[in-house]
Amino acid sequence: MILTMLIFAVVLLIRVPIAIVLGISGIVLLVVSGNGDMLINSPQRLFSSLESYSLLAIPLFMLAGEIMNTGGITSRLVTFAQKFVGHYRGGLAYVNIVANTFLASIIGSAAAQIAMMTKIMVPSMEKEGYKREFAAATTASAGMLGPIIPPSMLFIIYGATSGTSIGDMFLAGILPGILLSLAFVILVAYIGYKEKFPSKPKASWGERGMSLYKIIPALLVPGILIWGIVTGVFTPTESAGIACVIALIVGLFLYKELNIKDLPSIMVNTAISTAMVTLLIAMANIFGWAMTFERIPQAIAEWMTTISDNPIIFLILVNILLLLLGMLVEGIALIIILTPIFVPILPAYDIDPIHFGVIICLNVVIGILTPPVGSGLFLATSLGKVSIESFVKAVWPFVFVSIVVLLLVTFIPSLTLWIPSISK
Amino acid sequence: SGSSETETKAAGEKGKTYEFKMTHVTQTGHIWHKFAEKFAEELEARSDGRMKLEIYPAAQLGPEADMVQQLSSGSLDFALITVPYLSSRFPELDAWNMPFLFEDLEDVLAAQETEPAQKMLGLLDSQGLKGMDYFFAANHNLLVNGDPIQSIDDVKGRKIRFAGGASVIDFWKGLGASPIAMGLPEVYNAMQTGVIDGVSIDTNPMLSEKFYEIGKTYVLTNHMAFGGIVTASKTKYESMPEEDQKIIDEALAAAVEWGEKEIVAISDKNLKELEKLVDVVELKNREQFSGEAKKIYEEYSNKSELIKEFISTVKKE
Amino acid sequence: MAMRGISDIIFKVEKLAVIIIIPVMLLAMVFDIIFRYFVQSPLIWAQELTLYTFVWCSFIGASMSIKTKEAVAVNLLVDKINPKLRNVLIVAGLIVSALFSIFIFYLSINWITNPNILLQKSITTQTPMIFMYICIPISLLFMSIHFLSWFLESLRFTRAGKVIE
Ligand code: NA
Ligand code: NA
């Protein structure tokens, strides 16, 4: 394991693409642990890690984003928002967080939400004079709300793995989600005050009316998405496909800024930006598989439970462990591996499994932003076209306030348990 | 390290020690996991501690296609693999997915012992696997929202999730339903948002995956047997000395015997629990469905001699 | 130079592939929704087609991201050291990457030529899985060539005393 970590660090630093670094580390771990005969299975693992309907939203939202940017939809959406809140310092950053909060009540996965919003928000914020890395960090952090505010893929998996009511989990996520969203707003206000964020002169009501008129066709995209998902006509994944079609129609026929000749390069861009993320997911899967086979996460968790019988110390240890493991192992896999180990010992510490579930899931969503491995990190940097280093610098204040929220949720059980209790 | 075998001659003891690895798709609350734990216990006891079994639940080592590959290359020792998945690799196994073939779980357990069923286990040999034994879970019923299903007309236009199997898709499509094959983790969300309005599911995941939270009526259709095959790595198994193979066979037989009693016992218990949580109703016009099912039996009997033999054997009993 | 030429040709093929694959993915999904809701007659094949075009597109795109040098990497160290050492480390990283992709390509050839592969079919449409699996060796072959070409180019740069970007 130490040799693996060493090789991981060395190849990472000599500018080997991170996906390849993960693949190499997985293979080294298999070989040094005497499981070299398992190498033959790695191509199959690569394939089946992407053979999942829940990942389909990624290319489709990337495509929708490309079409909306080329077709003039994004720019109109942003102009519209500016005319109304642009005169507040950091107006567009608030728009970003508020839009993500609403989106989170429709979408259940952070990856889908980050893919969709990065494509739209980062170019627009940059045009307004924000730093690219700040725009990407704000979008990716606000995307964490996706699996905390219900519906949530993570809560479903935790509920099923732990035997907790998924409905209760959904209710328990509401207050922590709102708290997280408020924390981001306060953070943005602080950074905005400190760094003198751009603000524009107040727009006249005439300008506002004009931008409202121009925005109507563009609003078809979010409008039809919300209608379709709420009425159950299509799944969130399918909504991404529908978004592409509407964006195409609006771009080609209503705004006429999109040309058939633009389409091939849109496809090529979509394929590359999708692959930059999915190759990472596939290679991280090889690494995670090697770790699971060696029972490394399990061994750490089992060792932890022997340290203390104080629930506070136990929860602090759990948070530290999850934040550390979350740097290396991706979301759902972490829940699947750790839940069966921790949940049986919760009664001994008198911890409610619903409360514990929200703690685990908050840790997991923080983990998608922390380097070196994290789907949110990869999505935001590749789609937002910022380097990992500058992104990490910009995102750490957001990670910090998320940890503060995590601690509040950890030590004030009623934040999670109150809503489920009154709904009974 | 992975399933290493080391000679231990200490204390005059002869024979190898084994660290087997086994995986399956269900959560730890499911009867399949308890069965795997029982198998581990039996192996250890019957080998005087020489055989240890590590269990990886919830498809931790990859989905079923990967399990099969890891078995045939010998990096995995055992897996409990669902029959609907295996029938995509061995079309003859689709015999088990035939709609409305079994009245209840006891029928299914009896069918396992028949000659054609045993022949099917033998088929797994051709892909580097060893079909050790069947281990079923329960019969599938339909959990639906909206009107409960009572006759074949109620099925038309309904979007229902199935576990797979060519004959299953053909049958329900033939009745005018819209069968969808999606992964189990996606079902909860899809059902809650109305993307699907029904799911074919047995009583175990109804409870372990909390599907009672998202469905209104559980119609006891008993339309399909749902189970798995305990599959071993052929190369691994055959490389072992005969006395060790015998220990494994006996340990498995004991675990299966224990598990089958357990399944029968919990299926009543599960149902009683579900009655408190959702509307549980009988299927009124079952003969209507059985009538339609005959067309599928005929179609698939023409495709495979073994399926034909299986259906007629089951019908006779 | 030969390697560069092959890599360029492969990139053209990859572009053409994704220009075909992505519309197919989108159309399959849209037709699925239309047929389910408006025609009430389900398209059994559409879901699988969407899924496997996605997998194909992902792996071909992965190889393309190497050609366009867009794959995410960490510049932290190489940006801070002197140009000579920087070149050496980057060239070393590229040969490691090339060897890794060649190795996985070799493993995937062993995997795909196993006769059992031909017996595997997809769950809903019973399509032979080989049509989907084959994207792994193909994309890894392409990726290996892109890496080798990139490696040779960087090596020439280093010899000429230029700084690799
Ligand atoms: Na959500
Ligand atoms: Na991380």
pLDDT tens per residue, range C120-164:
888 777 889 999 999 999 999 999 999 999 999 999 999 998 888
Q: Using the 8-state DSSP alphabet, how is residue B220 labeled?
A: E
| C118 interfacial to chain B (CB closer than 8 Å) | no
The separation between CA A276 and the C-alpha centre of its own chain, rounded to angstroms, equals 16
Nearest-angstrom CA–CA distance, B163 and C130: 22
Cβ of B166 and C119 within 8 Å?
Answer: no
Q: How far is the CA of A154 from the centre of ligand 1 (A)?
A: 9
The pLDDT, as a whole number, for residue A330 is: 67
Tens of pLDDT, residues B49-74: 999 999 998 888 888 989 999 998 88
The pLDDT, as a whole number, for residue B148 is: 93
Q: How far is the CA of C36 from the centre of ligand 2 (A)?
A: 39
Whole-prediction pTM value? 0.85
Nearest-angstrom CA–CA distance, A364 and C152: 41
Cβ of C123 and B65 within 8 Å?
Answer: no
Q: Which residues contact B69 (CB under 8 A, 6 or more apart)?
A: A41, A44, C111
Tens of pLDDT, residues C57-91: 999 999 999 999 988 787 778 888 999 999 999 99
Nearest-angstrom CA–CA distance, B120 and A168: 44
CA angle A314, A319, A325 (to 5 degrees): 120
Best to test chain C binding among A249, A260, A276 (most C CBs inside 10 Å): A276
Residues in a beta bridge with B201: B141
B-chain residues near C47 (CB < 8 A): 180-182
Cβ of A232 and B195 within 8 Å?
Answer: yes
The separation between CA B308 and the C-alpha centre of its own chain, rounded to angstroms, equals 21
Q: Which residues contact B291 (CB under 8 A, 6 or more apart)?
A: none
Q: Considering only residues B104 and C53, tell me which one the structure prediction assigns the higher pLDDT.
A: C53
The pLDDT, as a whole number, for residue C138 is: 98
The C residues from 107 to 126 touching A (CB cutoff 8 Å) are: 107-108, 110-112
In SS3 terms, chain C reads as CHHHHHHHHHHHHHHHHHHHHHHHHHHHHHHHHHHHHHHCCCCCCHHHHHHHHHHHHHHHHHHHHHHCCCCCCCCCCCCCCCHHHHHHHHHHHHHHHHHHHHHHHHHHHHHHCCHHHHHCECCCCCCECHHHHCHHHHHHHHHHHHHHHHHHHHHHHHHCCCCCC
Token pair in block for residue B7:
């000679």
| C13 interfacial to chain A (CB closer than 8 Å) | no
B6, pLDDT greater than 50: no
Nearest-angstrom CA–CA distance, B224 and B98: 7
Whether this model's ipTM surpasses 0.90 comes out as no
CB B248 within 8 A of CB B43: yes
B201, pLDDT greater than 50: yes
Residue type, A60: L
- Give B12's pLDDT tier (boundaries 50, 70, 90): very low
> Which of A39-43, A148-152, B13-17, B155-159 shows the lowest mean pLDDT across its residues?
B13-17
Q: B178-181 and B279-282 as β-strands: parallel, antiparallel, unpaired?
A: unpaired
Give the ligand with the smallest distance to the CA of A325.
Answer: 2
Q: Burial of A299 by CB count in 10 Å (0-12 exposed, 13-18 middle, 19+ buried)? A: exposed
Largest CA distance in chain A: 72
Q: What is the rounded average pLDDT of the residues B5-15? A: 46
Q: What is the rounded average pLDDT of the residues A171-181? A: 95
Residue of C nearest to A59 (CA): C54
Q: What is the rounded average pLDDT of the residues A72-99? A: 81
Percent of chain A with pLDDT over 90: 37
Indicate the residue of B88, B159, B169 with minimum beta-carbon distance to C44: B169
CB C155 within 8 A of CB C87: no
Token pair in block for residue A289:
């598989």
B-chain residues near C49 (CB < 8 A): none
| B70 interfacial to chain A (CB closer than 8 Å) | yes
- Give B287's pLDDT tier (boundaries 50, 70, 90): very high
Nearest-angstrom CA–CA distance, C67 and A410: 46
Q: Considering only residues B63 and B8, tell me which one the structure prediction assigns the higher pLDDT.
A: B63
The pLDDT, as a whole number, for residue A214 is: 84
> Which of A290-304, B35-49, B140-154 shows the lowest mean pLDDT across its residues?
A290-304
Mean pLDDT of chain A: 87
Nearest-angstrom CA–CA distance, C49 and C25: 7
- Give B9's pLDDT tier (boundaries 50, 70, 90): very low
